[in-house]
Chains A and B, each alone.
Chain A
């Protein structure tokens, strides 16, 4: 192992995530990627908006959506954003245990969110017969929300892999940047959700 990546306890960099060149690259790379993701999701949103009334006689958004479930999901995901902020805070203070703890909570919140989302889809399919193939609205809805869900799944796997892999290593200059990029990604997932609950669910329920 090269000496570049270990920490010298007497000379701790202020921000371990960006103190190596590699860390800087990761940080910028992820942000730029999020710029692209912005366009990606906006295209899904745009498609959804263009097709949201094309129900082909099937269930409409008013028939389907309920406030309670979406509210719970929103709170879960928003909170998980905060907990990951806490985790990064502890990372910058080189408090590994606390970081793992808060990331652990983040993962649990994310999992709970995912559980609710699966329940929601299941509910639409079994109780309303509203599927991906029912209508253009159905396709657009499941694609938009499903892509977001897919991002959550990917984020969770990423987080769990990071936590497991580094469980015995503690914070190093190499993995600090990885945790940091993950948290940026996770916030972005939250950003997308804010628009989903507003544009898809809330606007879909306004009559």
Chain B
């Protein structure tokens, strides 16, 4: 348990360490790594989609496979790439920003990670077990009920597992932020990334249960013969759409708000200027979250909900432009009058502003119901949401990776390669998606396996495909950069950018397992900056050096997850053969047994002793 020496550990010891860790930083990195893996997977699926659509009536892949491809692309990207990477940042960075030594529930944190990972594995195993889900990431009933094979079942259980993990993460972050802020870190001194983590967690808390319910209904219909969506027995498929979008729209803000938080950290640092309109930024974040729950039917304008509902939801949707606008203008005002350095992290942030603004504006256009009757389910919508998701969330993730890489891994990413990657990706991105607005309006619906020859759609689609490959090259350069940096990169100091403002820059890169030897005393917004400006090189401690209490690692989260994983297979295959009920009950027994074990054995953690701490150098 000594932390004084970095003793050489064997491979198995390291593996065991990662399998049992409850350290928020390690889990954060694991989230990011797994998310990156799924991003490449989803990206390859995107490339397959674009190859298929490169020319009219192409037969690169079959119709059924195409539907599997788009479903898996959408599901993987949203649930297993974008969200986990953001949760990874929340895990790794947020506790550092509020001056905490860990999250409130380290055990739950690890459970959440494993549930997410096995959910993703579950979903992707469908490729090898008779076919992937093929009803779109939105899984509209009754198509999803009638979908043959077990693909949809993997979708349902995979999302159910990872959704449970996400919910745990959300609650964990909320409690952490409420109870574990360092002395002096009042709510209105929290960095914006912490704020957006907080608000996104609230969204998770209220949005995911709707998905959980929807998935249960789908699962009961598919696996246990209930009749929620069976019209012959009085079922109603519109219920699924409501449940999905009650979750689905807040979900897009779960994605974008943390990205907003990341930009709100980066832009001030590289403008050397405090964030303009901090209070209104916080307020706007809450307003977006609040309004986010009242707009979901804008995905259902064509369902036939009636003019009153359509009009109300149209107004709600457009209203979101206002708080988002506040944010955009505050960022611009932060740049204004600053002293701007443009490096890779900043490039991604600057690329974000115009790209996201375009995406947001097409969002408002979609919100105008009458026009949406034309846009709906066409490539215009595809263009809209890739503009906000890629131009907002993915840019945010990449900006955050460049910005926090030194903090996470102790090395600064290579600048030259960072810029090359940016330009390839940025140009490819606009090439791919800008043209799609027009394709949509020219009569190309989305989820089309082929488009016909002679309908004026050929050139646009070709351009789009070329763009996608440029994005692929950009991503590859980034991956090479990561490898290169890991091998050759220079070591980073505590504050490699020189202008760090928040607490994470006041400690070593990467931080010690206990983060702060002494909890820092926070004297205002941007605490580290304040200390630097007043001539102190570092934070004033709020307490003397004391023993630090640490939680014990545990293998139970992994075992519990494996239990649920096995049980999921039981659920899926019991329709074919009753023997699978053994897997169902066996898996459940493992999961519940490890839960019981957890609650029966008191875990008091351990202490890092004062004497050892004093030997440490910062």
Give A residues with C-beta under 8 Å from B: 1-2, 4-5, 21, 24-25, 28-29, 32-33, 35-37, 39-40, 43-44, 46-47, 50-51, 54-56, 132-140, 143, 161-162, 165, 174, 178
Contacts and interface: CB of A to CB of B under 8 A. Distances in A.
Given A135-B233, A143-B217, 18 more contacts: A21-B179, A25-B175, A28-B104, A32-B171, A36-B208, A36-B209, A40-B210, A40-B212, A43-B210, A47-B213, A50-B239, A54-B234, A133-B225, A133-B227, A136-B227, A136-B228, A161-B596, A174-B602
B214 to A, nearest CB: 8
Contacts of A165: 599-600
Contacts of B105: 25, 29
A97 B337 CA distance: 69
Contacts of B174: 28, 32
Contacts of B605: 2
Contacts of B236: 50-51, 54, 136
B371 to A, nearest CB: 29
A36 B604 CA distance: 29
A132 B221 CA distance: 10
A56 B599 CA distance: 46
Given A135-B234, A136-B234, A174-B602, A37 B209 contact: yes
Interface of B: 104-105, 167, 171-172, 174-175, 178-179, 205-210, 212-214, 216-217, 220-221, 224-228, 230, 232-236, 239, 242-243, 246, 596, 599-600, 602, 604-605
B105 to A, nearest CB: 6
A114 to B, nearest CB: 18
Nearest to A21: B179
A138 B171 contact: no
A43 B228 contact: no
Residue among B175, B216, B234 with most chain A CB within 10 A? B234
A191 B174 CA distance: 24
Contacts of B602: 1, 5, 174
Given A29-B171, A132-B224, A165-B600, A56 B233 contact: yes
Contact of A132 (B167, B226, B599, B600): B226
Contacts of B209: 36-37, 39-40, 43
A56 B227 contact: yes
Contacts of A4: 604
Contact of B205 (A32, A51, A136): A32
Contact of B227 (A29, A138, A161): A138
Contacts of B217: 47, 139, 143
A56 B213 contact: no
Contacts of B171: 29, 32-33, 36
10 contacts: A35-B205, A39-B207, A43-B213, A47-B243, A51-B236, A134-B233, A135-B227, A138-B226, A139-B227, A165-B599
A50 to B, nearest CB: 6
Residue among B172, B209, B210 with most chain A CB within 10 A? B209
Residue among A137, A140, A161 with most chain B CB within 10 A? A140
Contact of A29 (B175, B210, B213, B599): B175
Nearest to A40: B209
Nearest to A143: B220
Contacts of B232: 56
Nearest to A39: B209
Contacts of B600: 161, 165
A24 B604 contact: no
Contacts of B221: 139
Contacts of A135: 227, 233-234
Given A36-B205, A143-B226, A137 B234 contact: yes
Contacts of A37: 209
A24 B213 CA distance: 29
Contact of B239 (A47, A132, A178): A47
Contact of A51 (B213, B214, B228): B228
B206 A36 contact: yes
Contacts of A2: 604-605
A43 B209 CA distance: 8
Contacts of A132: 220, 224-226
A36 B201 CA distance: 11
Contacts of B167: 36
A56 B234 contact: yes
B37 to A, nearest CB: 29
Nearest to A47: B239
A160 B219 CA distance: 31
A204 B604 CA distance: 51
A140 to B, nearest CB: 7
Nearest to A30: B171
Nearest to B606: A2
Contacts of B175: 25, 28-29, 32
Contact of B210 (A5, A28, A35, A39): A39
Contacts of B246: 43
Contact of B230 (A1, A32, A136, A161): A136
B234 A51 contact: yes
A35 B104 contact: no
Nearest to B178: A28
Nearest to A29: B175
A1 B604 CA distance: 7
Contacts of B212: 40
A139 B604 contact: no
Residue among A25, A37, A55, A178 with most chain B CB within 10 A? A25
A136 B235 contact: yes
Give the 10 A-B CB pairs with smallest separation, nearest first: A54-B234, A139-B226, A40-B209, A136-B234, A43-B213, A39-B209, A56-B234, A136-B235, A25-B104, A56-B233
A136 to B, nearest CB: 4
A132 B216 CA distance: 14
Given A33-B171, A138-B227, A143 B604 contact: no
Contacts of B224: 132-133
Contact of B216 (A5, A55, A143): A143
Contacts of A139: 217, 220-221, 226-228, 235
A93 B188 CA distance: 38
B233 A136 contact: yes
B227 A39 contact: no
